[in-house]
Amino acid sequence: MDDVCGKAVWGTRSMDDAGLARQALLQLADESGMTYDELLELWAVETASQLSSASAALAAGNLREAARLVHSASGASGICRIVTLADELRTAENFATEGRGDAAAQALEKAQQRFTSLNGALHNGPKP
């Protein structure tokens, strides 16, 4: 997947996140032998799990684990060109790394809301 990330047009915001994600997932599907739906489901399930676990880690005061989980979710979203979600997750990661648990929790909540919205748009929107 790192090769695909290198080919991505980082920071491109000429298309909405869902549109960029569809393009990236199609490209990844073509290169990996997986289908678009399989990749979408993999991103959705893994990201949901990581965000839930990160939230629990923050609630338990384990900022290091929260930062690790959010970092992983941010990377996957970045590969899929979901730049606004990746940016929001990096913000939560930075707050957690700095020891700012309350700020990290607020940033993570914002990212979780965006994830829910994008996940719905990708699952219910037009299929490529």
- pLDDT score, position 15: 55
* Residue count of the chain: 128
Among 112, 118, 108, CA closest to 65: 108
- Choose the weakest-confidence range: 21-25, 52-56, 107-111: 21-25
The arithmetic mean of pLDDT across residues 90-111, rounded, is 98
- pLDDT score, position 55: 98
Longest C-alpha distance within the chain, in Å? 42
CA distance 123 to 12: 22
Provide the whole-model pTM. Answer: 0.82
Domain ranges of the chain: 16-26+33-38+62-128
**pLDDT tens per residue across span 21-40:** 888 888 988 888 899 899 89
